[in-house]
A and B are shown apart, each in its own frame.
Chain A
Amino acid sequence: MKIAASVKSGITRSLRAWKGILIMWFVILLMVSMVAIPMKGVLQSGLGDSMITEKLAAGINIDFFADMSASFKSLVSYFSNGLLMIIITGFFINTFLTGGLFNSLKKHSGSFSYNEFFKSSADNFWSFSGISLIVNLIIVLVAIVVIIIPISVFEQAEFSSEGSLFKAVIITISIFLLIVAYLYIVADYARAWQAISDKGGCFRALRFAFRQTAGTFFLSCSLMLILLLFQLFYGLVVFKLLTQYKPVSGIGVFMLFLFSQILFYIKLMMKATRYGSITKMMELNTVSPDQ
């Protein structure tokens, strides 16, 4: 019951915060465009007035990229450097905007205000950065402990075989994903608590989050798994749609852009629903955020 109520509330809250999500979408689009548009230029100049683009009609063509030679190296350079830049700046920008979003998702947040959104973004930035950094660090450590070390040991073991190694990889990755889901709950509780509480500090928020997660383990985990599975399913559908859709006209390509952006906006809405649902779950299970 609490799960259904949380999800329902999460959806309502995310719909109410649509403007905040719109800001997130726009900022991410700008950031990605800073990499993708120069890449498009490089690709265009590498092709000149060639008709080789015919070969792209059926999808990615390896010959085509090989023949780009120097242009391809520029393309790869743009992509790799751009991706690194996006990962770093994306982390901070996302952390910043999530601060505002969590504030919009909390109970009695009232009508959306841009001032309020950016103010809370700024207020929560450092503690949200701390929470994100610590949780990400834990995820990396978990990956090392749960996947890399056991698989390395298993690979060296005399009894290991190809089949058992494969099964071991599947099992360790599954365990890792479950722990990641757990850490997502912790991160969400910590940020929800931080958005509600007047007291700052990522460590206090995390302490609350771990206690809250432990106290509502079954409920929280079930809720998170349901939400993540929906997101995963949605991601797979989007991937399939975007890879299969190959428009050949100008209007078709514009529709592709529009369509892909709507899909991404929905993805952000789903993420906001997750934040809102966890916030609601916290509100249902916590007498006071100062606990």
Chain B
Amino acid sequence: MKRYLIFAYALVLFMLPAHSQLINKQQLSPRQTGYTIDARLDPVSKVVTGSMNAFWVNMSNDVVPDIQLHLYMNAFKNGNSTLNIETHGYRKQKQSEYGWINIVSFKDRNGVNLTPFMNFISPDDGNISDQTVMRVRLPKPVSPGDTVFINVEFETKLPSHIRRTGYNDDFYFVAQWFPKFGVYEPVGMRYATKGGWNCHQFHYNSEFYSNHSLYTVNITVPNEYIVGSGGLQMEEPSSDQKAGTKTIRYRAEDIVDFAWTAWPGYSVFYDKWKNVEITLLIPKERTEQVGRQFGSVKNALEYFSANVGAYPWPYLTIVDPPAKGDGAGGMEYTTLFTSSSSYMMPEFLHFPEMVTVHEFGHAYFMGILASNEFEEPWLDEGVNSFWEERIMDHYYGENSGLMDNPLLKLADNSYGRIMYVSSDRRQTVSNNEYSWNYPYGTYGMMSYFKTATWLYTLMGIVGEETTNEIFREYYKKWAFKHPSGKDFVNVVNDVVPRINGNKFGNDMNWFFDQTLYGTGICDYKVSRIFNDQIEFQSDYSAVPDTLKRNSDVSEKRYKSVAELERAGEVMLPVDVLIHFTNGDEIHESWDGKSRFKDFIYIGSRRIEWVKIDPDYKIKMDINYINNSMTIRPDRIPVRRFSYKLIAFMQFFISFISL
């Protein structure tokens, strides 16, 4: 009895901070889960030893018989794990190079040993060799409103080949390292038709779907290590002189994952944007990159805050891993993310800025909104890529968001569009697919780039301000609530008619059916221009001038036709600009539904050129070349290109010959 009293007291102590506010004034999420972890890094064995108290609150109306947890480090345990099968990356390794998580003990609130009730499951692919999801049958099912407390002792061996997580030499990036609850989805949540755990295995593509949680993590490392984490450091590190270690206490509120890094070679820099304290951990030799990193993250903070919603945490940690830890680069853990720069990275290449903006953006879509990246990767990666492209091109130049060199400029949105339009597999699958089901080599192109391209197209149709309003509403309505794709579509269907009336119909489903759920391509083209002179007459007054100009009755009349064609399956409304030989221009609109469309004019002017989508709003159009046609093509640029090519090749030959 006494034992139970002590345990109950410990639980009360544990739960008190769970509902206290140390970082934000208000609780941001329901905090269905929480973790208090003592972690100790052993740099010799490359093992993190952990002791964890965690809870899960059953907020559903269901009686739940079990809990499910991610044990993602087991993805590196053997060559037959789902991760290794998906990457075809298995190679014979030394035992010391593998990674795994070993559960030493697993107890419930009463101290009952639950290890006999643990078993591995593979809900995604039935792979019995995969041990990344663990199910624990509970001695007593959890009633609605009840809380499950667990106490877990674990050992996490880090893998040597860093793929998001692991170590190289004395560099450590510790992610996916502790047993973490899956998400229990009751009926009606997202697509759930019956209550159950949503706990996916560890896959090559996609990483996150978790509850917003409370974390208190004490990390013990050797004294010389510099540590960064997704939490806020709560007090000065305590030092154990005898052991030569220090313990740092972190707390994080309402984030979906907790990762940390330790390396003696970091330099630490601080900056601030409004109330957000920004910490940057960067290799000592890369200090010339500090300004770029801070500048880009501040740009992202400003743009997201203005156009989506507030960044709700008062801190942020950026980690720029050293070259030996580059496998950890370009990852997101909400309040901590990793960028990717290098020593002497030229200023004209905005790659580090792009990675920083992208990974920071995940704080919104994976962190705050926290959609299910496994099942709807487009809703995180794709939407985030759209914002990344907008931010990069906004701050670093409309045509030079990614590269700004006199010889070659590259907009970030152009890069994204090119990755989609130039792929010969762009029609293999729709955007609405589970991450691990994408055919080989299509995941990135579809999840990131196609999504960003059709979101740009949506913005081209409904306008920039309406698009921003969509995202503001999406944020306001769904922050910390795990929205699904259909929730996003519903927001669009609410906002667009509210701002634009019936201009685009009652809803925008026609758009999403073709772009998000469809596999068609969009390609509008000008097929032909012709200007036929109407049979000679001495008096053309009988021939009406459809251009409604006061033409001289003796002026020749032409029947001028612009023939347009919809070469792809996707039907979108497009603008058409028709230019006449005398400089007149007519703006036409085409709903883009029919296969062919003729614009016919009779009058004294002839069509000189025609442009479909003259402002390049329809980024999904896979071929801009056929969007326009002229009766006087300009050959100069091609000749200029050819002559320069000839000269450069001549110099090249002369250069390589002795």
Contact = CB atoms under 8 A, between A and B. Distances in A.
B399 to A, nearest CB: 8
A111 to B, nearest CB: 26
A247 B636 contact: yes
B342 interface: yes
B548 interface: no
A50 B285 contact: no
B625 A267 contact: no
B643 A257 contact: yes
A162 B285 contact: yes
B616 to A, nearest CB: 8
B190 interface: no
A94 interface: yes
Nearest to A249: B636
Given A69-B422, A242-B644, A28 B638 contact: no
A136 B644 contact: no
Interface string A44-82: 101111111110111110111011110000000000000
B650 A28 contact: yes
B646 to A, nearest CB: 5
A226 to B, nearest CB: 18
Interface string A220-250: 0000000000000001001100111011111
Interface of A: 28-29, 31-33, 35-37, 39-40, 43-44, 46-54, 56-60, 62-64, 66-69, 83, 86-87, 90-91, 94-95, 98, 132, 135-136, 158, 161-163, 165-166, 184, 187-188, 235, 238-239, 242-244, 246-250, 252-253, 256-257, 260-261, 263-264, 267-268, 271
A266 to B, nearest CB: 11
A61 to B, nearest CB: 8
A61 B393 CA distance: 15
A35 B645 CA distance: 10
Most chain A CB within a 10 A radius of its CB, from B408, B609, B642, B652? B642
B634 A162 contact: no
Given A52-B628, A135-B658, A184-B658, A62 B640 contact: no
B607 to A, nearest CB: 12
Contacts of B640: 56, 246-247, 253, 256
20 contacts: A36-B642, A44-B638, A47-B633, A48-B626, A51-B611, A51-B633, A54-B634, A59-B407, A59-B409, A63-B414, A66-B417, A136-B658, A158-B169, A162-B322, A162-B343, A166-B343, A184-B658, A250-B636, A253-B639, A264-B654
A29 B627 CA distance: 36
B462 interface: no
A260 B344 contact: no
Nearest to B609: A51
Contacts of A94: 653, 657
Q: Interface extent on B, as a size class? A: 35 or more
Contact of A253 (B406, B630, B636): B636
A70 to B, nearest CB: 10
Given A90-B653, A235-B655, A39 B645 contact: yes
Nearest to B624: A67
A220 B652 CA distance: 25
A163 B343 contact: yes
Given A32-B650, A87-B656, A50 B639 contact: no
Contact of A56 (B323, B344, B637): B637
Contacts of B635: 44, 53
B625 A68 contact: yes
Contact of A33 (B169, B342, B399, B646): B646
A43 B624 contact: no
B654 A267 contact: yes
Given A52-B628, A267-B654, A62 B641 contact: no
A95 B611 CA distance: 52
A26 to B, nearest CB: 11
Contact of B623 (A60, A67, A188, A235): A67
Nearest to A169: B344
A108 to B, nearest CB: 25
Contacts of B630: 49-51
A64 B636 contact: no
A119 B399 CA distance: 55
Instruction: Give the 5 A-B CB pairs with smallest separation, nearest first.
Output: A260-B647, A162-B343, A56-B637, A163-B285, A51-B628
B362 to A, nearest CB: 26
A285 B438 CA distance: 72
B323 A263 contact: no
Contact of A161 (B285, B641, B656): B285
Contacts of A40: 638-639, 641-642
A109 B407 CA distance: 45
A163 B623 CA distance: 44
B306 interface: no
Given A35-B649, A56-B641, A247-B640, A49 B654 contact: no
A263 B286 contact: no
Given A162-B323, A162-B343, A52 B625 contact: yes
B653 A32 contact: yes
Given A86-B649, A90-B657, A257-B646, 16 more contacts: A36-B646, A40-B639, A43-B642, A49-B633, A59-B406, A59-B408, A64-B624, A87-B656, A98-B658, A162-B322, A163-B343, A165-B323, A166-B343, A242-B648, A243-B644, A267-B654
Contacts of A56: 637-638, 640-641
Contacts of B648: 242
Given A49-B631, A50-B629, A39 B642 contact: yes
A186 B651 CA distance: 22
Contacts of A39: 642, 645
B252 interface: no
Nearest to A33: B646
Interface string B398-417: 01000000111110001101
B283 interface: yes
A119 B409 CA distance: 50
Most chain B CB within a 10 A radius of its CB, from A60, A63, A247? A63
B498 to A, nearest CB: 34
A243 B649 contact: no
A271 B629 CA distance: 47
B650 A63 contact: no
Nearest to B424: A69
Most chain A CB within a 10 A radius of its CB, from B344, B409, B629, B638? B638
A28 B169 CA distance: 53
B37 interface: no
Nearest to A90: B653
B650 A29 contact: yes
